[in-house]
Structure 1
C-alpha cells in the first residue's frame, strides 16, 4: 500500500471523493504541514497554525497508479487559487500534494507540469514532503457519509 496526503480545500468533500475511487483503501482527514502540535479545528480556522485541511489517502498502486490518483485530484481543485477553494477562504484551504516517499516526486511533478499547460495563471498548489499530519476530530471523519446532505464544494462525480 502507498500513501499520500492531498489538500484540496474543505476536507469533507476531498475525503468523500477519494473514498469512492476503486483502489483507495482508506481515507482520513486531518491537518497537514503546519506549526502547531495537535491542533483543533477551531485553532486551524484562526489562520495561525500553518496547517492545511487535508486528506490522508492509502491506496493500492496496482489498482490505482499514483499518476491516475493525482489526475483525479487535479480535477476537483482550482490550482490557481491561493488559500481558497470554492467559497472557503483561508490558508487552511490551500491546495497541496504532500508526499511521503521521494520516489513519488517525479510522477507528482509530471502531473504538475501537465496542469500548467491548462491555465493562464500560475499554479499555486504546494508540492512538499509531508512534515506532519494530525488526524482531525472524529466528527470530521467520513463527514459526508454521516451527513449525506452536508456541505461540499466539489463535484463528487468528477
Structure 2
C-alpha cells in the first residue's frame, strides 16, 4: 500500500460497528474508524449522539489506497452493507444518527457519489426510493476508543452476535467471491 497516495471517504450506513468491521478487511483499506459527523455539536459523545439531538450520524472514516481499491468499489460495498431506502434507520436501529449519508469534500467527490447512488438504484438491489443524503464534509469526530474494532473485541455481545456477525458473514461470502478481502476465506 502506498502511504503517500492514500485518500479518505466518510459515510454512514447505520450502526458503525457493522460498517467499520467490514471495511477493515478489504484489500486497499488502511483503516476504518468509527465516529460522528454531520451535526452541530463539537466533541460529541456516544451517549449524546444516541439522543438524536446532536444532528450527528454514526459514520466511518475510510482511509484507502485508490491504486488498490477504487472509490466506486467502496461505494459498492457501502450500498451492500445497508439499506439506503430506510429513512433514519437501519433495521431496529432507529433515529437520525443511523441515517444513510455520504460526505463529500469537493464537487468531484459529490459527482462520484451521485453517480454511485444512480448505479446502485439502477442495480435493483434495494426496492424503493433511495434516501441517502449527500452533505459537504465539515468535521469528523472519532468515536470513543471502546467503539473502535468493537465487533472483534466483543463478538459474543448480543447485538454483535445477532446483527453484526451475520452481516459480516454475508459480506465475506459476497466480497470474498470478488477477491476484494484482505484475507482468504
Same fold (TM over 0.5): yes
Larger RCO (CA under 8 A, 6+ residues apart): 1
Q: Is the 8 A contact 1:15 1:29 kept in 2?
A: yes
Q: Is the 8 A contact 1:3 1:100 kept in 2?
A: no
Q: TM-score, normalised by structure 2?
A: 0.80
Structure number having the greater helix percentage = 2
For each residue in 1:36-58, what CA deviation from the matched residue of structure 2 results, as whole angstroms up to 9, or x when unmatched? Answer: 11111111111100000000000
Give the match for residue 83 of structure 1: 88
For each residue in 1:72-101, what CA deviation from the matched residue of structure 2 results, as whole angstroms up to 9, or x when unmatched? Answer: 110111111001002100110001111224
Query: Structure 1: which 5+ residue stretches go unaligned?
Result: none
CA-atom RMSD in angstroms: 1.4
Rg comparison, structure with higher value: 2
Whether 2:30 is the aligned partner of 1:25: answer yes
Moved over 4 A (4+): none
Query: Structure 2: which 5+ residue stretches go unaligned?
Result: 1-5, 172-185
Whether 2:64 is the aligned partner of 1:56: answer no
Whether 2:21 is the aligned partner of 1:7: answer no
Give the match for residue 183 of structure 2: none
Q: Is the 8 A contact 2:76 2:120 kept in 1?
A: no
Whether 2:105 is the aligned partner of 1:105: answer no
1:111-130 alignment runs, 5 A limit? 111-117=116-122, 118=124, 119-130=126-137
